[in-house]
Amino acid sequence: MFKFFKDKLKNAVSKFSKDVDEKTEVIEDEPVEEEPTKKSFLSKIFGKKEEEPEEKVEDIPEEVEEKIEEELEKLEDIEKIFKEPKKKEEIKEFLDPIKEEVIEPMKKEVEETPLVTPKEEIEKEEQILEEVEEDLEKDEVLLEKPVKKTIFGKIKEAITKKSLSDKEFDDMFSELELVLLESNVAVEVINKIKADLKKELVDSKVLRGKVKDIIETTLKNSLIEILTIKTVDVLEQIKKKKPFIIVFVGINGTGKTTTLAKFANMLTKNNLTSVMAAADTFRAAAIQQLEEHADKLNIKMIKHDYGSDPAAVAFDAVKYAEAKNIDVVLIDTAGRQHSNTNLMDELKKIIRVSKPDMKIFIGDSLTGNDCVEQATQFDKAIGIDANILTKVDVDEKGGAALSISYVTGKPIIYIGSGQGYDNLERFDHELILERMGF
């Protein structure tokens, strides 16, 4: 199940991740083209973009900038020292110059800098400086413990993050988009996945080496959100009303009649009685097909002659259920295209007469986007309440399973996974994700 989708998606995600890793660049400050303005040290180190100040001031002293660069170059050696137990004197040899020549000038610089940036930015930088000083003090006291995240970690994290432009993202997403389209995933779902990935890769900074993890996690979260539509517990609903009336709708060849029989079998196994209504009086052999299922399952079926009014068949089935204290009425209808006005009007009449408690759309998973479009049009015409997908066991792509609930806003309640009466599974989005390779 879903093998094509799983294999293709895996390859596309790997290539997408590789492209992001290779083609994006480390974030750096943009060069100043006009008269230089004063920026705080933290803004320069962390790559934060500030609003253009109202007041022009002199450049930061060159010797202080050089000192910052020297200290940054010592990052690797300093981190090695923190990873191994060292004597206090050795640690102090590194910490004292940093406190004296880097931290203090930075603190002084913040205090003396005119309020050319928003107040909250200045306060945020001062807070970070205080945290840095606290980190340094802890490093002196806890010499035998590894450093969790001091100034060196913060600086290193800042200079190893990546920036990705909108155009770069669109170019790299195109192959992943093609895989989703080939897997019959609806455009609405693709746009949702694209927007979620873009938020993580473009609107946020990306740590080098974490790109693939971010893409896979975001993709999984998107699919969970797409598949998690508020569902309907049919068995619980049935227990609230007697008889509970269900109409099964869809186009020709989707397995509607067989699914109705599977549903009846499921009701019997849950100690619920049912009656079938052969309201497909249009298709040749439709009545015989349903009657064969009814006989095998030992369930009563109400039928009229071919060409008779299907609404009358539905009406008689409801009356029979009321008289015999039957729990559920299952109404089979003729398969029809949503564009067939006469047959759609006939379906609307069946619904007006039988007043169903639930209208279930039966869709063929193999038809992909066509299935989604059919469900959408049936929903517009009669207002469906839920979906059942058939032939999911032989669907290599999975686009319909991903798309139909998200596009229609109506849940998938069961999936058909074989020809046997027991081959009707409750829809479980976690199981679908697992079959898709997540």
DSSP-based three-state secondary structure for 342: helix
For 413, the enclosing helix (H) or strand (E) is strand 412-416
Q: Is the preceding peptide bond at 243 cis, omega within 30 degrees of 0?
A: yes
Give pLDDT tens digits along the chain (438 positions). 555 655 666 666 676 666 666 655 444 444 444 444 444 444 444 444 444 444 444 455 666 666 666 666 665 565 555 555 555 666 666 667 766 766 677 667 666 655 555 666 666 666 766 766 666 555 544 444 444 444 444 444 443 455 667 887 888 788 888 888 888 888 888 899 888 888 887 767 666 566 778 778 888 888 888 888 788 899 999 999 999 999 999 998 888 999 999 999 999 999 999 999 999 988 888 899 999 999 999 999 999 998 899 999 999 999 999 999 999 999 999 888 766 778 888 899 999 999 999 999 999 988 888 899 999 999 999 999 999 999 888 877 778 888 888 888 999 999 998 889 999 999 887 877 777 676
CB 129 within 8 A of CB 137: no
Its sign, for the CA torsion 211, 216, 217, 219, is: positive
Q: How many CB atoms lie within 10 A of CB 400?
A: 32
Dist. CA 98–CA 156, nearest whole Å: 16
* Residue 2 φ/ψ, nearest 5 degrees: 65, 25
Is 234-428 assigned to CATH 3.40.50.300? yes
Give the start-to-end residue ranges of the domains of the chain. 38-159, 163-227, 234-428
